[in-house]
Structure 1
Amino acid sequence: MTQTIFSDEPAKGWIPPSIAAPFIGIFILVISMLPGDLLLENFGFTDSRGEPLGPLGFCLMLASFVAMGLGVFAWVRWVEKRSLASIGLRGKGRLRKFLTGLALGIVMMGAVVTAIALSGGYRVEDLFPAFASPAALGWIALLLAGFTIQASIEEIFFRGWMFSTIMRRWNPTAAFVLTSAAFTFVHFSPRTPLLPLVMTFTFSIFACAWARRSASIWGVMGWHTGWNWFGGTGFDVPITGLDSGLPALVVKMVPVGPAWLTGAGDGPEGSVFTLAMLTVACVVLLAPARPRHGLGMEPAPAGQEP
C-alpha cells in the first residue's frame, strides 16, 4: 500500500524500490558533486580530504551542493514525475517555519556548547573577537547564506526526496532506517570516531521525525542551517569536523576536556551532550501527540495539494 508524507499526489513516473533509493541517491550525489569537488581541490580551495580551506573555500563549496540539488530536482521532475510539494516543499507560512527552525537550531547549538563549557570541556578565551574585524563579520554573514543553501539542499535530498520515496514503496520504519543509513554513509570517513557517526544517524532520525510530523521540510531546513552556522561561526570550534578559519562571533572556546565531552576534531557534534539532546528530541517527535503549530507542524490535508 502506498504511503505518503507530504502530499497524496500520485507519482506519474517510476518510483524506485525502497532498497534501491539510497544507492540511487548516492549515485546522484557523486556524479553531481564530484566535478566541482575536483575543481576546488585542483585550484587549492580544499585539501586532499575535500575539506575547505578558509571561509572562501566554504563558500565555493556551495557550487557542488547546488549541483546536488539540481540533480535531485531533475530526478523528481523527469524520472519520478512528481511535484516539489511531494518532497516536502509545501505548506503555508514557509518563511515562518524556516525562521522558527533557524532559531531553534541556534539555541540548541548554544545549549550544547554551554553544557560542554560548564562541564569543564571548554575554556573561555575571548569574548566577541569577530567584532574586532569587519571583514570577519562580512564572511560570517556570507556563511549564513552559504549554510542556508548547503543545509537546505541536504534536507531536500535526504528528508525530502529519499525519505518520501522509500515511504511510498515500503513503510515508515524502513524509511527512517534507510534514509539515516545513507545520510551516515555519505558523512563517513575511516578517521571518524564512533560517537560522531552515531550522532549523525541519530540526527537523521530526528530530522526525519520532524519532517514527518510537520508534513514539510521547511522547519528542519531552518534548524539544520542554524545549527551548522552557529556551530561553525559562534565559538571558533569545528562543525562536522570542518574549521571556518574565522574568529568566534560570540566566544572563543578552547577544548580542554576529553574527546567524548568536547567532540575533539569533530566539534560539539561529537559530544555526548549532542547525542543525548538529539535522542530526547527524537523521543518527543516520535511520541503520539497533537501537532504543535509553533513549529509548523500541521499535517498535510489528505488528497489535497497545498
Structure 2
Amino acid sequence: MTQTIFSPEPHRGWLPWAWLSPVVCILLVAFSSVPFDFGLEWIGVIDAKGQPRSAFGFCLNLLLPFAAMGAAVWVWSRFVERRSIATLGLIGAQRLRKHLAGLAIGVGMMALSIMSIWLAGGYVGKDVLPAFSSPTSLFWIAVLLPCFIFQAGVEEFIFRGWLLSTATRRWNLTAGFVASSCAFTFLHFSPHQPVREIIMAFTFGLFACAWTWRAGSIWGVMGWHAGWNWIAGVGFAVPITGFDLHLPALIVQLTPTGPDILTGGPAGPESSVLTIGLLAAATLLLLIWPRGLSASTQGIPAPGRDTTTQETI
C-alpha cells in the first residue's frame, strides 16, 4: 500500500523506483545548475574554484543555479510523475508562521553551535558589531537573507519535498530518509574532503527529513535551513559550507584558532564535531519525542500527515 507523508493525493504518472530516485535527483540538479555555474564563472563573479568574488556574486550564486534546479524538479514532478504541489510538502495552514519559527530556530541552533566552539577554544573573538560601521555591508547582509531563504527553500523543496516523498511513496519512510540524505550528501561531496564533512552532510539530511516527517510539510524546515546558513555567514564571518561572504560580522568577528575537528576547518562550523553532535541529538529527539507533547505552532514535532501505513525509522 502506498505511503505518503504530505497530501494523500495519488500520482497519475511514473514514479522512479526508490533506489533510482536519488540518481534522478542528482541528474536533474546537475544538468540544470551546471550551465549557470559556468556562466557565473565566465562573467567573473565566481572564481575557478567556485568561490564568489563578492557579496553580489554570492547572491547570484544563491539565486540563478537554484532557480534552475527548482524549476527542473518541478517540471519532472508535474509532467513525469504528474503530482500536485501539495504532495511535495507545500501544504498546511499557518505557513508563514511555521517558516518564521523555523527561521528563528535555525538562527538559534547555528549560533549555539558557534558559541560552543568559541567557548571550547576554537575561535578568538575580535571586533564586536563591525558591520554596523559600514552601511554597504549592512545592505548586503540584509539582501543576503531573502537570497538564503530562496536557496534554502529550493533545496528543501528538492530533497525533503520531492525526493523524500517520492521514495516514500515508492517503498517506505525509511527508504525516503535514506534516498534523500544520500542524494544530499553526494551533491555536497568534493574530492579530498574529510570524512567528517561527509558525516555532517548526511546528518544534516537526516535532521531535515525528521523535521519534515514530524511537521507534515516543508515550511518550517525551509525557514530553519535559511536561518542556519544566513547567521553563520553574516553573524560571525565564518565560512558557510566552505564559502566566504566577504563581509564583516554582524555580531562578532571570529577567527579560527583551534583544530579543524573543532572549528570545522575550511568548511566552517557546520563540519565541527560539536555541530554534528548537535544535529544528531536533535534528529534523535525529533524521532522519539512523544507526539502528545508537540509544539505544533512551530511546525516541528507533529506527526507525518496523511500516511496510509505510517512507520517510524
Q: TM-score per shorter chain, which class?
A: over 0.9
Determine whether 1:65 maps to 2:62.
no
More deviation in 15-24 or 290-299?
290-299
In structure 2, distance between residues paired with 1:124 and 1:300: 42
- Residue 293 (structure 1) aligns with: 296
Find the aligned partners of 1:242 and 1:178 in 2 and give their Cα distance.
26
Q: Does 1:138 align with 2:139?
A: yes
One-letter amino acid of the counterpart of residue 22, structure 2: P
SS in structure 2 at match of 1:80: coil
Q: Which residue of 2 aligns with 1:27?
A: 27
CA distance in 2, matches of 1:260, 1:303: 40
Match of 2:180?
179
Alpha-carbon distance between aligned partners in 2 of 1:23 and 1:302, rounded to the nearest angstrom: 27
| TM-score, normalised with respect to structure 2 | 0.94
CA distance, structure 2, for counterparts of residue 3 and residue 272 of structure 1: 35
Judged with a 3 Å threshold, the aligned counterparts in structure 2 of structure 1 residues 299 and 7 are, in CA distance, closer, same or farther, namely farther
Give the Cα–Cα distance (whole angstroms) in 1 for the partners of residues 103 and 265 of structure 2.
Answer: 25
- Structure 2 equivalent of residue 87 of structure 1: 88
Measured after TM superposition, the shift of residue 245 of structure 1 is: 0.4
CA contact (8 A) 1:203 1:278 kept: yes
Q: Structure 1 residues 233-242 or 281-290, which shifts more?
A: 281-290
Opposite residue 133 of structure 1, the aligned amino acid is: S
Give CA deviations for 1:167-196 in whole Å, capped at 9, x if unaligned: 001112221112111100000001321112
Deviation per CA, 1:243-301, whole angstroms, max 9, x where unpaired? 00000000000111110111111111011110110010010011152132132244466
- Distance in 1 (CA, whole Å) between partners of 2:279 and 2:113 is 11
**Which residue of structure 1 lines up, in the alignment, with residue 252 of structure 2?**
251
Structure 1 residues 174 and 11 mapped into 2: Cα distance closer, same or farther (>3 Å)? same
* Residue aligned with 2:45, SS: coil
> Could you say what secondary structure the match of 2:125 adopts?
strand
Contact 2:99 2:219 in 1 (8 A): yes
User: What is the CA distance between 1:147 and its match in structure 2?
Assistant: 0.4
Q: Which residue of 2 aligns with 1:4?
A: 4
Aligned to 2:311: none
Unaligned runs of 5+ in 2: 309-313
**CA deviation after TM superposition for structure 1 residue 82, in Å:** 0.9
Aligned to 1:111: 112
How far apart are 1:197 and its partner, in Å? 1.3
RMSD: 1.4
Counterpart-to-counterpart distance in 2, 1:239 and 1:213: 27
**What aligned pairs does 1:1-306 form with structure 2 within 5 A after superposition?**
1-61=1-61, 62-287=63-288, 289-290=290-291, 291-297=294-300, 298-299=302-303, 302=306
Query: Structure 2 counterpart of 1:10, which letter?
Result: P
Task: Please report how far the alpha carbon of residue 47 of structure 1 lies from its aligned counterpart in structure 2 after TM superposition.
Answer: 1.6
Distance, in Å, in 2 between the alignment partners of 1:236 and 1:53 is: 15
Structure 1's 301 and 24: CA in aligned 2 closer, same or farther, altered over 3 A?
closer
One-letter code aligned to 1:182: A
Q: How many residues align?
A: 304
Query: SS of the counterpart of 1:224?
Result: helix
In structure 1, distance between residues paired with 2:26 and 2:136: 37
1:9–1:303 CA contact under 8 A, matched in 2: no
SS of structure 2 residue aligned to 1:254:
strand
Answer yes or no: is the 8 Å Cα contact 1:87–1:160 preserved in 2.
Answer: yes
Read off the aligned partner of 2:296 and give its amino acid letter: H
Contact residue 5 and residue 307 of structure 2 kept, 8 A: no
**Amino acid in structure 1 at the alignment position of 2:57:** G
